[in-house]
Amino acid sequence: MTGLDELGLSVAEVFAPFALALFILVFTLMFKDLASKIAKGMAFKYTGHFKEGDKVLIDNCQAIIVKIGLINTVIGMHKADGSYTWRYVPNERVNLLKIERTVFKDVFDSKGDFGE
């Protein structure tokens, strides 16, 4: 006889609370990360700094914000070789990009001075 049998307990009765606690811990950590990603996505979408269709410069490449989702943002980029690619950026990393919005493309004349 084992010590658990003497106490009238089975192995399942002893380890079930630990398994449940481990499951709750893993689920909580996964939900925390997902909630954080969604919150950052909503903040990026609803702050109003950028919206879908905005023409921007990212790393000195012309780009268009195609879609701002809850978890990822899709950016269409014009590369130097003439190709056009979509870049999927997690919203928690958007703040690490150097994003510049193109406000007025035709404001400057060919010399770089303000047009009159």
Cβ–Cβ under 8 Å, residues 63 and 76: yes
Rounded to the nearest 10°, the torsion over CA 23, 28, 30, 36 is 180
Domain ranges in the chain are: 3-101
Per-residue pLDDT reduced to its tens digit, 57-108: 888 788 999 999 888 999 999 887 888 899 999 988 888 888 888 776 555 5
Output the pTM of the full model: 0.62
Both tokens assigned to 83: 């190709």
Whole-angstrom distance, CA of residue 68 vs CA of residue 44: 8
Does residue 28 register a pLDDT over 50? Answer: yes
Element (H, E) at 76: strand 72-78
Architecture of domain 3-101: Roll (2.30)
Which comes out higher in pLDDT, residue 11 or 44? 44
